[in-house]
Structure 1
Amino acid sequence: MTLFDESSSTVHAARVMVGACLQDWGLGDVVDDARLVVSELVGNVVHHAVPDECLARPGAARRIDVLVKAWPGWLFIGVADEDSTPPDLPAGEFVSPELTGDFVEALLPDRGRGLLIIQRLTDAVWWTPEGPGGKTVWCRFDLNTTT
């Protein structure tokens, strides 16, 4: 699905469309996590993406593509934007939560908290460049295939 960052409801629209799609596919057990992931990814585009010069059109809304693909055992969600700048994917935890005591807030990075949430909710996160510009940030959910 293609969205254009024209209004404050862009993130909400993406969340609703992905949730409805997953319900239709019988993947209701991952709807809540998938909607949160899409909210974070689309929100990053809305708030941080700057279209590459070759893709920018004066006065045009930014294009956001939300991709949802399911295979037996996996669900892939990708959000493509027109900014080739790589995302700041968190490298992982450098301090054990047990060492922070009552100050777990100290573990939160200054930036990239949305991507940290995505890493915690999904089984993999990566990005791919797009030509002639832009990128797609992907995540994978490993689905429970036993029923």
Structure 2
Amino acid sequence: MKQEITLPQHGRAVRAFAVLLSSTRRGARLARLLATAQLDEWGVTSRVEAAAQIVAELAANAMAHGRVQGRDFRLGLALYGGGAVLRVEVSDARGECLPPEPGHTLVPDADRESGRGLLIVEALADRWGVSPGPLPCKTVWAELDLDPAP
């Protein structure tokens, strides 16, 4: 399912990709694989590993914290600004379960095995945030400024 997305700050998407995936560990793993395959198909060569890690973290969060029985999560990728900005979006069905705002992500205790996903997103992304709706959903997004093609 491909769709065109328009964001005021970036104008019209040059390329866009979206897919629904099951809110399972398998769906979260598949999100990363599909994202890297799509970026390869588009010829994106800069910051691919950062993008793949962001997709993995956001998909894992959608599976762990945004899961509603019988509902999928949505992975969206879009290139803006002539391909200079990559936007990653992961939407889930738990709009009431919002993550902390950018810059307010708490560092978990050192002995905890989880809770670092948004810290990783914050470290890798140039910008990230949360967009509410449509009810009952929310979208967590992250943007990467890409190096221009040689």
Q: Which TM class, normalised by the smaller chain length?
A: 0.7 to 0.9
Q: Residue 4 of structure 1: CA displacement?
A: 1.4
Structure 1 or 2, whichever has the larger Rg, is 1
Q: Give the gaps of 5 or more residues in structure 2.
A: 1-18
CA 48–10 in structure 1, closer or farther in 2 if over 3 Å, else same: same
Q: Residue 92 of structure 1: CA displacement?
A: 5.3
More helix by share: 1
Separation (CA, whole Å) in 2 of partners of 1:87 and 1:25: 30
Q: Give the gaps of 5 or more residues in structure 1.
A: 52-59, 94-106
Which residue of structure 2 lines up, in the alignment, with residue 62 of structure 1?
A: 71
Separation (CA, whole Å) in 2 of partners of 1:140 and 1:29: 13
Contact 1:15–1:36 (CA under 8 A) maintained in structure 2: yes
1:87-102 matched pairs, under 5 angstroms: 87-89=99-101, 91=103
Q: Which runs of 4+ in 1 moved over 4 A?
A: none
Separation (CA, whole Å) in 2 of partners of 1:92 and 1:49: 19
Q: Residue 47 of structure 1: CA displacement?
A: 1.1
TM-score between the two structures when normalised by the length of structure 1: 0.76
Which residue of structure 2 lines up, in the alignment, with residue 4 of structure 1?
A: 22
Contact 1:15–1:39 (CA under 8 A) maintained in structure 2: yes
Match of 1:70, SS state, is strand
Q: Residue 2 of structure 1: CA displacement?
A: 0.7
Q: Percent identity?
A: 30
Deviations 1:88-109 (A, max 9, x none): 245259xxxxxxxxxxxxx933
Q: Residue 9 of structure 1: CA displacement?
A: 1.4
1:1-147 matched pairs, under 5 angstroms: 1-5=19-23, 7-51=24-68, 60-71=69-80, 72=82, 73-84=84-95, 85-89=97-101, 91=103, 108-110=107-109, 112-145=115-148, 147=150
Deviations 1:22-64 (A, max 9, x none): 011111222211111111001011111254xxxxxxxx52310
Separation (CA, whole Å) in 2 of partners of 1:19 and 1:146: 17
More strand by share: 2
Separation (CA, whole Å) in 1 of partners of 2:104 and 2:116: 12
TM-score between the two structures when normalised by the length of structure 2: 0.74
Would you say how many aligned residue pairs link Structure 1 and Structure 2? 125
**CA RMSD of superposed structures (Å):** 2.1
